[in-house]
Amino acid sequence: MALVIATALAVGIAPAVLGGAPAAAGPALAGAATEGVLVVQEGGPLVVPSGEEGAVTTRIKVTLPAGLSGPVRARLLLPDPTWELPDFDTPAYEPVTATCAVNSGVFWSCPWDSPGNEVVFPAVEASQTVTYDVRVNADSRAAVMGNLTASLEVTGADGAVIGRAPIAFHFVKGTPENYLRTTVLARDKAGVLWQYPSSGRDDTPLRARQRIGGGWNAYTSLTSLTHRTAAGEGDLVARDKTGVLWYYKGSGNPAAPFKSRVRVGGGWNAYTAITGRGGGLVARDRDGVLWIHAPNDGENSSEPFAPRRRVGGGWNTYTAIVGQGSGYNAVARDTSGVLWSYGYGFENGTGPYSPRRKVGGGWNAYNALTWAQNLNSHGRNDLVARDKEGRMWLYETISTNYGAVPVSSRKQIGWGWGIYDAIL
């Protein structure tokens, strides 16, 4: 009996639609002989977005020779991993969740990290054609897998291999999961707080806004304490008009990202600027003295900060001081519009920040500055600035010993933001 093995390439046909049915078959590289076995990956290589897009499916069609009888078995042989995941000790195939089906039957779990890196399909009785569906869902970590070529091996009733062909998967960057993406918060002049979840995309890094709730014009200052995510994580504090500070803990619910507020204490009207640092706060008083309120250990949200400690004077030279909240870097703009960068300073005994380094001039063109971590595909903690015409600009940064420093030309990421009186 002659044996012919072929794969199919898609010609003018897109890969399987995300989460949809398998794509129609493309033409095979070669036709099968009368008594041959043809193994075809319909639609060609399966493109797998690594992120929150959901599962995609590839169908493998096996055409058996006439007269073949008895049970037919198949297994998908996966290559030995050559990549390393960001969390190192994690099994290389853990980012992949796979289910499989035979002859359009019920899907069952077919893990890729099984012993020997192989998926064994149940035996079926030989017929003219047998189909094997492999549905793949991959999280963001799987992007490092790149182009992966497995092999489908088909055996007959006697256990001899009667067909084998390469099965290709192309793992590409998708949309990061919501816990890996941030949100930008903005309060409008009516006191409504809105959130803009990041998309993880470079071309449109912000998604459409979502309403959080009203009444936020009761506050004269809003400050992020920890990194916010589109999964509803991240804490903030708000100072009301009487000088009382309130603590809002992240809820973990994207639709309602904050729990009910908890009173921290009064007297915070003594400060003309408040910003986040490493889960705590730094605050400037009316005399230009900077104070640090380090975070308290534990989960007591009514006492989130240790007693304040004096940093030093002279901070009235700045018209804006913007810390990273969960991080330790800060930028400050002086009265002439020059932006200065401050890095982490405890290691060298300089206090909460290292000696400042000049970033550049012209920053008085902006009336709002904030940090946004994981806003686009680069995953950095970048600067976002609003100009006086209401346009939003993104400056990608890198972290250095002197803080986070812009490394790219600005990129416009929005307009119409002049309706907001607070952005964080």
Q: What is the pLDDT of residue 4?
A: 36
Name the band, by pLDDT with cuts 50, 70 and 90, for residue 108: very high
Confidence check: pLDDT of 363 > 90 = yes
Contact 397, 371 (CB under 8 A): no
Q: What is the pLDDT of residue 359?
A: 92
Confidence check: pLDDT of 188 > 50 = yes
How many C-beta neighbours within 10 Å does residue 15 have? 16
Structure tokens, 120: 């064994």
Please enumerate in sequence order all residues whose Cβ is within 8 A of that of 46, keeping only pairs 6 or more positions apart, or say none: 15, 16, 56, 57, 58, 134, 136, 168, 169, 170
Name the band, by pLDDT with cuts 50, 70 and 90, for residue 200: confident
Picking from 103, 104, 86, the residue whose alpha carbon sits closest to that of residue 95 is: 86
Confidence check: pLDDT of 28 > 50 = no
Q: Hey, which residues does 395 pair with through a beta bridge? A: 383
Q: What is the pLDDT of residue 299?
A: 64
Name the band, by pLDDT with cuts 50, 70 and 90, for residue 89: confident
Strand, coil or helix: 212 = strand
Confidence check: pLDDT of 18 > 70 = no
Confidence check: pLDDT of 289 > 80 = yes
**Angle at alpha carbon of residue 74, lines to 73 and 75, rounded to 5°:** 140
Q: Hey, which residues does 383 pair with through a beta bridge? A: 371, 395
**pTM as predicted:** 0.82
**Angle at alpha carbon of residue 264, lines to 258 and 270, rounded to 5°:** 115
Pairing of strands 161-173, 219-224: unpaired
What is the average pLDDT value for the chain, to the nearest integer?
A: 87
Strand, coil or helix: 380 = coil
Ranked by mean pLDDT, which of 97-111, 294-308, 378-392 comes out on top? 97-111
The per-residue pLDDT for range 391-419, each reduced to its tens digit, is 999 998 887 767 777 777 899 999 999 99
Pairing of strands 96-102, 108-109: antiparallel
Structure tokens, 297: 């250990």
Name the band, by pLDDT with cuts 50, 70 and 90, for residue 85: confident
Q: What is the pLDDT of residue 296?
A: 85
Please enumerate in sequence order all residues whose Cβ is within 8 A of that of 347, keeping only pairs 6 or more positions apart, or say none: none
Q: What is the pLDDT of residue 350?
A: 54
Cα distances from 127 to residues 48, 62, 337, in angstroms, run 30, 10, 77
Cα distances from 173 to residues 23, 52, 239, 295, in angstroms, run 21, 10, 40, 36
Structure tokens, 33: 């002989």
Q: What is the pLDDT of residue 67?
A: 86
Name the band, by pLDDT with cuts 50, 70 and 90, for residue 202: confident
Name the band, by pLDDT with cuts 50, 70 and 90, for residue 126: very high
Q: What is the pLDDT of residue 298?
A: 62
**Angle at alpha carbon of residue 85, lines to 80 and 91, rounded to 5°:** 55
Q: What is the pLDDT of residue 86?
A: 78
Confidence check: pLDDT of 132 > 80 = yes
Q: What is the pLDDT of residue 10?
A: 29
Which residue has better confidence, 381 or 346?
A: 381
The per-residue pLDDT for range 218-275, each reduced to its tens digit, is 999 999 999 999 999 999 999 999 999 999 999 999 999 999 999 999 999 999 999 9
Q: Report, as an integer, the average pLDDT of 104-124.
A: 94
The per-residue pLDDT for range 307-337, each reduced to its tens digit, is 999 999 999 999 999 998 888 889 999 999 9
Out of 9-23, 120-134, 174-188, least confident range: 9-23
Contact 291, 281 (CB under 8 A): no
- What distance in Å separates the CA atoms of residue 364 and residue 298, rounded to the nearest whole number? 39
Confidence check: pLDDT of 5 > 70 = no
Q: What is the pLDDT of residue 340?
A: 95
Please enumerate in sequence order all residues whose Cβ is within 8 A of that of 181, keeping only pairs 6 or more positions apart, or say none: 175, 197, 198, 199, 200, 229, 230, 374, 375
How many C-beta neighbours within 10 Å does residue 164 have? 16
- What distance in Å separates the CA atoms of residue 362 and residue 339, rounded to the nearest whole number? 8
3-state secondary structure string, 297-340? CCCCCCCCECCCEEEECCHHHEEEEEECCCCCCEEEEECCCCEE
